[in-house]
Every structure is written in structure tokens, then in C-alpha cells.
Structure 1
Amino acid sequence: MFLESIILKCFYQLNGERSVSSVYHLLKGNKSIQTIQDAHSYQLETLYGIYRHLTRNSFNQKVSFLVEKEYLNEIEGETNAFRLTGQALSCLAESKRQFPFEYFNGLRYNETADTFQLRLLLLIQTLTNTKMRFYQFIPITDQISVEQWVKQIYRKMKSNEAHALQAIYQELYQLLQLFPDKYASLFVERLTGYKTYGKSMNQLAELTKLSIMDVHLLLTGIIHKMIQVIETKPEQFPVLSFLIGDLIEQIPITNSANLTYQLLQKQYTIDQIAVMRNLKINTIHDHIVEIALYDTAFSIDHYINQEKQQQIIDVINQENTFKLRDIKKAVHDDISYFEIRLVLAKKKLLK
């Protein structure tokens, strides 16, 4: 019921202002600026991208189930928009006591988590096997980038596998002490070593009596929490910290937005950048909104004056909405959608 509860949480936060597709794109980690801005505006940053392998069919089945169980009611006059029923609110409150929603930090770690986990699992598998002089094992992943990374690290560790393994063991033991036993065990069951094999998702689902989807989400949350602790206390976890050192960006904007940012810093105008990069002006607008979302030092005053900013903020507060169409109707005609989106991007910093 974890995935269903997460879907309910998303609909609750969106408050009927976004469609079913918006929830799906959010959980998948769609890189569109609209999805990213939704994550910020509706305080769903932690759930962004937490189920990147979720299929549309599986998601639709879950939504249909929630409608059938009368947890979701479709909003009259809106297309594929839902609100929670009273029954759903009770269910959501109970699920928060059963599942670790607080482990997730999707917007920051959704891309880091998979790579960190595969690096760690393959490194442990490699060291435990080579320590026993067994070199013919089948790697737990076929991702070339992960295999190459582990090979490079192994060259530095192979002279003393026992010491490296002991260091990893001590750090993992210390880290897993922060979790309830059932979650620590779930992570440990995935480990592969010399003549031991980590359990598959199917096996873990059978072991825990949960769905495969819920097992996937629990493991994702555990990995997110592990990375957060490692990032916060690198001196306590030097080896594990090294595994994530090159993965976490301080300002995680897309490469294209970063190129636009570099040109903005050289004082080029929006029109000039659009011509130089052969992109539409709306695309440059998207980049600027993305920069404003992530960079606390980025000022939007150059693109919208203080008076307009205040008018937009007043409407957001008075109408209690982040819906662009509703905000646009309530502000002066000379305020553009781009300006509204910029203020929404910065408003998260004003809370």
C-alpha cells in the first residue's frame, strides 16, 4: 500500500490543481521545468523521481484502484483531476505511521541513488570474491560506467582487500544502526558476496509480504536516507562518502540551463542567447526559471520589478493557489506567464 499512499500524498498536496499525468511525471522524475516547478510549488520535492521505472499502465491501475475504493473523487469540471475523500485522509494518516515517507529526498538524490547503490553492491561483490582469489564471478550489474568506476577503485584497494572490506563493513554497520531492523535487513538482503547472492525484488516481496513496487520504494527511501547521512557526516563515512563524491551537484540544473546561465553571467540578453544557441525564447525562459529554482543567489529583479513580484505574491496568498491560469486572471494584464513562473520559483525561498 506504500505506492498507493504516495499517490494519495501527491494528490493531497496538488489540491486538485494538477492532473493525473502531473503525478505520474513527478514520480517518474520528468525533467520538464513544469514538473520540477510543481515539485517545488506543492512541496513535493522529496517524492520527485522516486519511482523512475514506474510504467504508465501500472500507475493508471493504481489510480483506478483508488477511485474504485472511493479514496479519490474526480473534480467536476476538471479533466483528470482528483481530490482525496475523508476515507483517503484517514488512510494517508495511517500509512505515514507505517511507511518511512521521511526517508525520501527525490529531487536531490533520485539520479544519485541508483548509481551509489550499484557501485556499493559491485564493490562489495568484487572485494569479497577477489579476497578469496575467485575472479570468475558474474557482476551484479552490466552498467559499463559502474563497472569501470569499480575497476578503477579496485586497483587502489586490491593490495589489501581485507582492510578495505573491514572499513566498508564498519561504515555500513554504523550507518544501518540508524534504521529499524526490518529496513536494515531489507538492505542487507540485497548484498552479494563470495558464494552468497543478494535476493531479487521478487524474493524480497515474498519475504516481506509486500508488493514488488512497495519493496522498490522502501529500498529507494533507505538509499536516499543513507546518502543524506553520508553527505552530512562525510568524516564518519570516508569510504562511502567517496562513492558519492562525484555524483551530487551543488546546483543540479540541466546542462542546457547551465549553458544559458553562463551566457547570462556574461551579460547577454535573452534574445541574444536564443539566437546564439538557436533556441526558442520560451526555452530560454524555461532555463531562467530552472536557475531561479535552484540557485538561491540568482536575482529575478532583472526580469520582473518588485511591484509586479509583490502583486503576484499577494494573489498567490489571497487565492491560495499555484495554478498559473488562475494567477494570470487575477493579476494585471501586463504580467506574463514567464514572470509568474519566476516568482513561483523564488517563492519557495520566501516561505
Structure 2
Amino acid sequence: MRFDEVVLAIMKAVDGQRTVSSPYHLIKGKKSGQTIQDIGYFGLHPYFAVLPKLDKQEYLASIDRLQAQGLLIPDDSSVRLDRSAFDLDIPATPLNGWKYRGNEHRFFARLSLVVQTMSNFMQGHKRFDPVVADETVQAWAKAYLNRIDFRSAAVQEAFKNQIETSLALAKTTEAHKQILVERLSGYGVGGLTWDQLAMQQNLMPIDVKVAAVEAVHAWLDVIEGMEYPLLTGMLEGIIQQSALTESAKRTQNLSERGFSLQQIAELRQLKTSTIEDHFVEMAMNDPAFSFVPFMDEHLFQSIHRISKELKSMRLRDIKERLPEASYFQIRLALAMRGGES
């Protein structure tokens, strides 16, 4: 996908129901209650946190391009797409942002440093400037290299073969795979910059970054098959084992122990609204979640009926029709059937 297609895919899902800045927060991986609930409401899991370092000006440039093409109608208060935008086919993507939540960048940083180290040692060159400056990544890579006995010629050959074999199976284009390979550095060879890759691929740098993330996600899907032990060992802490954020998991644990929402807020010394966000997140991700402690069946069904009648998941619109429901109750009910309205 091109970056503009990522933005447009999100906008098509939220058309008229969110502000123009909402895709920006989603792509960066903002962990606010609004952003996280939108993932469930609108089925936006693929795009979460795919570019954690996205610059606001790059995003605004995309908005300008979409407006210039007549696809996006200028509106400060909400996303408004021209009907022609809905006729455009958005290409399929291997992106799985909610699963990796930006950690794929850490995986590739590890890989880059390990490849650089092996390459230099294979040539008897033990002093070099590490391609990754992050000391946490450096410490991890050092421990990993020692653990696998990276000086062994057999290990070096196996590592190379596992990279080539697994990457070949990744369900993405050869051009995408080439971007990853050419980002890597080795003995006497420096990885290409985003600008250099953009010129090579005849793309904008932001498009090359999206292509790289798509390629890593497709590759990680292969590596998870457990047939590549040297690469699987690099997945430590990369894949989210729970659909919930860490803070929401702590709230869930207290809830399962019988504490009420208000008690959890007091115990954790957090705002009630923050704990409400956690319950909405739990409702989104747990099929067994029960709304009974928070509303009766009639109110739950009324929220969904009105949402369908209005063809909207905007809280304010539903609240105007159903004033007896709190915003939290509306959010919770919608989260339990996100995307069906």
C-alpha cells in the first residue's frame, strides 16, 4: 500500500464520524481510549502503530494530496470523503499493526545489528560502528549472539539460510522484500537510506516506509511457524500475547477478583474515565465479556437499535436520542459489537 492508501482506508471506515486527525493518531499508535476503541468499532486493527515515528507534516501532506485529488472534502470537524473515494479499490495488505504495535521496528533493529555483526566477524573484522545506536537493542543483540555461538561457521550459514528461506515465503512482493534486504548493512556495505530507496523504487520516502512495514509483518507471519529457530529466537517481546494493553490487563485482573470499576480506580489511583477506557477495551476483545454489571438488556439493545437507525457510531448522536444512557454505557455497548452498526 501507498501511505495515502493507508490514510484513505482508515477514512473510508470512519467517514463522517471522526476528525481528520484521527487516522494520524491511529497510525502512530496512540494508546488513548478513543483510538483504541475505534480499532474495534471500525475494524482498523491492521493500521495501528504501523509508523510510530510518523511526522505530523508528512500526514498533513497526505491530507493535501487527497484533497487535491477531490477524494477528501475539506472539513475541520470531521472526515468527509467524496463519493468517488468509495469507488477506489484499496489493495490488500499484510499489515497487522494491532498484533505487533510497533515492535516490528525493534525486531528489524535487532536483525540489522545481528546481521552486521556476523558479516564483520565472518571477514575477521571485529571493530565497526554499530548500525543501531539504541543501547537496549545492542545489549539484547550481544546476549543473543553469544547464546547462539555466532562465531561458528555452521551457525552463520544456518542463519543466512533461514533468512533467505523464510523471506522467500513471505506473502508480499519481491520489491517489498528487496527494500528490507537493502536496508541491511554488512562488512563494507551500508544499508540504503529511505531517500535512496525512494529514488530507487520511484516512490516517496513515506511509501517506502509503509512497504517495509508490510514486508516485515508478512515475514514475521512466516517466522512464527517455528521452523526457523535462529529467527524465532529474535521474537522475544515482539509479538503481543494479549489483545489488551498492559494497563487494561491490570484492570482486568482486578475486575476478575471482584473489584468494581470505582474500586479499581481508587486502588490504581487512576481517573474513573481511564478505567472506563479499560472496560471498553475488554469489551472489544473478550467475546465472553458481560455488560450486565453496567446496564440492563433493554438499554443495551436500544443503543444498538439507535446506532443502526442513525447509521452512526458517534456517541453524541446516540446520546441525543437516548439521554438516559451514559457515554460510557454507549461506548461499552458499541464495543461489544464493533463494526456491525
- Is TM > 0.5 for Structure 1 vs Structure 2? yes
> Percent identity between the aligned chains?
31
1:269 partnered with 2:266: no
Q: Give the deviation of 1:20 after TM superposition.
A: 0.8
- 8 A contact 1:251–1:294 mirrored in 2: no
1:228 partnered with 2:221: yes
Q: Give the deviation of 1:22 after TM superposition.
A: 0.9
Gaps of 5+ in 1: none
Residue in 1 aligned with 2:309? 318
Residue in 2 aligned with 1:338? 328
1:287 partnered with 2:284: no
Which one of 174, 181, 199 corresponds to residue 192 of structure 2? 199
- 8 A contact 1:328–1:335 mirrored in 2: yes
Q: Give the deviation of 1:160 after TM superposition.
A: 4.4
- 8 A contact 2:66–2:72 mirrored in 1: yes
Distance 1:86 1:300, change over 3 A: closer
Using structure 2 for the length normalisation, give the TM-score.
Answer: 0.92
User: Counterparts of 1:80 and 1:182 in 2: how far apart (Å)?
Assistant: 38
The aligned runs of 1:167-178 (5 Å cut-off) are: 167-178=158-169
Using structure 1 for the length normalisation, give the TM-score.
Answer: 0.89
Distance 1:53 1:159, change over 3 A: closer
Which one of 153, 157, 160 corresponds to residue 162 of structure 1? 153
Amino acid at match of 2:319: K
Q: Give the deviation of 1:242 after TM superposition.
A: 1.7
Gaps of 5+ in 2: none
Output one character per residue of 1:126-177: Cα deviation in whole Å (capped at 9) or x when no partner: 1221233311111111111111111111112236432222222222222222
User: Counterparts of 1:194 and 1:283 in 2: how far apart (Å)?
Assistant: 50
Residue in 2 aligned with 1:84? 81
Amino acid at match of 2:26: L
RMSD of the alignment, in Å? 2.2
User: Counterparts of 1:306 and 1:85 in 2: how far apart (Å)?
Assistant: 38
- 8 A contact 1:116–1:243 mirrored in 2: yes
Structure 2 residue matching 1:189: 3-state secondary structure:
helix
Residue in 1 aligned with 2:39? 39
Higher RCO (C-alpha 8 Å, min separation 6): 2
| Bigger mean CA deviation after superposition, 321-330 or 215-224 | 321-330
- Deviation above 6 Å: which 4+ runs of structure 1? none
1:259 partnered with 2:250: yes
1:52 partnered with 2:52: yes
